[in-house]
């Protein structure tokens, strides 16, 4: 059974097909065409963490594809009322796939281990593959192609950064992480990435101004993610010189574009004048969450349609 727990679960060819599918369904929507590709199919959204973009984009996307979605919060008792095997195998009797937004990556791995239905990672502490799909779709739209582009992530080597590093490796893009000492990407993750893609152009540097000199896209995220609140003061001190502001943006080419996965702490990792500026494509990027995930859903659940409609 095909799952999407991380980008390691798919090949570069699969990834490119998902992105092409996303592009096709996005163009159809813009033309007023909403084909019922997933008519009568149902996905469950099993969330431990709050969400705006992930929840709404999956719900709206599934509706536009002719299917339906069910939001499952704490009331369903996941991990509390019954054995994981009972919960998952019963859920698989009702739905065609589940999107899981969990605190620990091990929880989505456990869901997938029963092969009751395809499991999509809607975010974990390890990675955020759906976000990376939207990010690359945005870069492709803005620049005409993602091949050979340089993506610079300024900030914490977190779950978003790790997915971006991997997707860049898969698509032959260059990835640079500019972060303070101690905030690099997970060593096990990077070892697995380099084993799978030994020619990947990935680096970690300490100087954000030097990092963005050749950037096509400059990306940032919050300094303190959900669950890290106890580290907030220390993180603010560590990342003080890594703010994406007018000065840092001036060190990059004028053609560079600004990305942020949102929500943002305005005035902390990014300033108002940058997030709202002419080089920002952040709102477009957020909108592409839905289009990229529609491509993923069709790839998982409507492969016959792809064979007939996607070149």
Does 131 qualify as catalytic in the annotation?
A: yes
Domains recognised in the chain with CATH numbers: 7-127+289-309 (3.40.50.1370), 129-286 (3.40.50.1370)
Q: Which of 41, 53, 64, 101 is catalytic?
A: 101
Q: In the numeric block, which tokens belong to residue 59? A: 């719900």
Q: Which of 131, 162, 285, 293 is catalytic?
A: 131
Helix and strand counts by DSSP (H, E) for the chain = 13, 9
CA 75 – CA 230 distance, rounded (Å): 27
Does 162 qualify as catalytic in the annotation?
A: no
Helices (H), ranges, 33-180: 53-64, 84-94, 105-113, 129-143, 159-170
Does 174 qualify as catalytic in the annotation?
A: no
Does 2 qualify as catalytic in the annotation?
A: no
CB atoms inside a 10 Å sphere around CB 178: 25
Q: Which of 53, 257, 289, 291 is catalytic?
A: 289
Does 53 qualify as catalytic in the annotation?
A: no
Q: What is the pLDDT along the chain (311 residues), one digit of tens a residue?
A: 999 999 999 999 999 999 999 999 999 999 999 999 999 999 999 999 889 999 999 999 999 999 999 999 888 989 889 999 999 999 999 999 999 999 999 999 999 999 999 999 999 999 999 999 999 999 999 999 999 999 999 999 999 999 999 999 999 999 999 999 999 999 999 999 999 999 999 999 999 999 999 999 999 999 998 788 899 999 999 999 999 999 999 999 999 999 999 999 999 999 999 999 999 999 999 999 999 999 999 999 999 999 999 97
Q: Which of 96, 156, 216, 221 is catalytic?
A: 221
Angle at 199 between CA 198 and CA 202, to 5 degrees: 95
Does 13 qualify as catalytic in the annotation?
A: no
Q: Which of 53, 64, 100, 128 is catalytic?
A: 128
Q: Which of 168, 235, 261, 291 is catalytic?
A: 261
Q: Report the DSSP beta bridge partners of residue 231.
A: none
């Amino acid at each position: 059974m095909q799952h999407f727990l991380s980008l390691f679960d798919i090949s570069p060819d699969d990834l490119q097909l998902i992105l092409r599918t996303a592009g096709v369904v996005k163009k159809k929507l813009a033309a007023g065409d909403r084909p019922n590709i997933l008519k009568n199919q149902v996905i469950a959204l099993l969330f431990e963490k709050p969400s705006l973009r992930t929840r709404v984009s999956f719900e709206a996307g599934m509706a536009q594809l002719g299917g339906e979605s069910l939001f499952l919060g704490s009331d369903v008792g996941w991990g509390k009322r019954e054995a994981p095997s009972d919960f998952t195998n019963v859920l698989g009797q009702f739905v065609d796939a589940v999107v899981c937004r969990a605190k620990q990556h091990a929880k989505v791995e456990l869901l997938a281990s029963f092969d009751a239905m395809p499991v999509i990672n809607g975010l974990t502490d390890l990675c955020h593959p759906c976000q990376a799909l939207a990010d690359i779709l945005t870069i492709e739209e803005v620049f005409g192609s993602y091949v050979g582009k340089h993506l610079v992530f300024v900030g914490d080597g977190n779950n978003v950064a790790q997915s971006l590093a991997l997707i860049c490796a898969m698509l032959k893009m260059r990835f640079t992480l500019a972060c303070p000492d101690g905030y690099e990407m997970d060593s096990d993750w990077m070892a697995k990435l380099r084993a799978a893609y030994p020619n990947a152009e990935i680096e970690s540097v300490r100087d954000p101004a030097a990092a963005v000199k050749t950037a096509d896209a400059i990306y940032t995220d919050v300094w303190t993610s959900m669950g890290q609140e106890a580290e907030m003061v220390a993180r603010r001190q560590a990342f003080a010189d890594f703010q994406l502001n007018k000065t840092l943006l001036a060190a990059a080419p004028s053609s560079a574009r600004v990305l942020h996965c949102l929500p943002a702490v305005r005035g902390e990792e990014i300033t108002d004048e940058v997030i709202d500026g002419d080089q920002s494509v952040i709102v477009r990027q957020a909108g592409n969450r839905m289009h990229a995930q529609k491509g993923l859903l069709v790839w998982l659940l409507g492969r016959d349609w792809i064979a007939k409609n996607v070149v």
